[in-house]
Amino acid sequence: MTEGSHTDGPARDPSSMFEILRDFQAHGFNGDFSAVEGGDISCGTCGVSTPAGSFEVAELRRMEGASDPADMAVVAAAPCPACGTKGVLVVMFGPEAGPADQDVLVSLPTPASPGERPGTTS
**Residue ranges of domains in the chain:** 17-107
What is the residue-level pLDDT of the chain in tens, covering all 122 positions?
Answer: 444 444 433 334 457 889 999 999 999 999 999 999 999 999 999 999 999 999 999 999 998 866 566 678 999 999 999 999 999 999 999 888 999 999 999 999 988 654 443 333 43
The per-residue DSSP string of 51-64 comes to EGGG---SEEEEE-
Strands 49-51 and 40-43: antiparallel
pLDDT of residue 13: 47
CA–CA dist 27, 35 (Å, integer): 22
Q: Which residues of 86-116 are buried (b: 16+ CB within 10 A; e: fewer)?
A: bbbbbbbbeeebeebbbbbbebbbebbeeee
Beta bridge partners of 35: 41
Predicted TM-score of the model (pTM): 0.77
Cα–Cα distance, 10 to 50 (Å, whole number): 26
Q: Where are the alpha helices (DSSP H) in the chain?
A: 17-26, 99-107
16 DSSP assignment:
-
The answer to whether 2 and 69 are in contact (CB under 8 A) is: no
Work out the end-to-end distance of the chain between its first and last CA atoms, rounded to an integer number of angstroms. Answer: 24
